[in-house]
Amino acid sequence: MQHPSAAWKHLYDSAAWKRLRIAQLSESPLCEWCLEREDVTEATEVHHMIAHKGDLDLFWSGPFISTCKPCHSSRGQMEDHGKTVVRFGADGWPL
């Protein structure tokens, strides 16, 4: 059986997504999740703040957030799977 994300993987390879990604990273070049911890990190990924799960309107319209690869791979995936993410501020206290 094909993994559900494989059905829309081709969208990430499209010229339209590449333009959207460049525009998002140009507008917000720092990882927004690292900034919550007062850590300045270059963003290299664009995350769908609402998991689109194949919904083309959500895929193309967002909302989006700029993230670094480590944040996108951890927090982004947890959020996509409906898990609660405990965030911590620069002072070490939960947000």
Pairing of β 64-67 and β 45-48:
antiparallel
The residue segments making up the domain with residue 43 are 31-82
Interval 34-47: pLDDT, tens: 998 889 999 999 99
Flag whether 1 is in a domain.
Answer: no
Q: pLDDT band for 2, please (50, 70, 90 cuts).
A: very low
Q: Residue 21 is inside which H or E element, if any?
A: helix 15-27
Flag whether 7 is in a domain.
Answer: no
Flag whether 76 is in a domain.
Answer: yes
CA distance 8 to 29: 25
Question: How many other C-beta atoms can be found within 10 angstroms of the C-beta atom of residue 80?
Answer: 16
Flag whether 75 is in a domain.
Answer: yes
Report the pLDDT averaged over residues 49-60: 88
Flag whether 56 is in a domain.
Answer: yes
Q: How many domains does the chain have?
A: 1
Flag whether 20 is in a domain.
Answer: no
Interval 72-83: pLDDT, tens: 887 666 565 555
pTM here is: 0.73
More confident of the two residues 93 and 53: 53
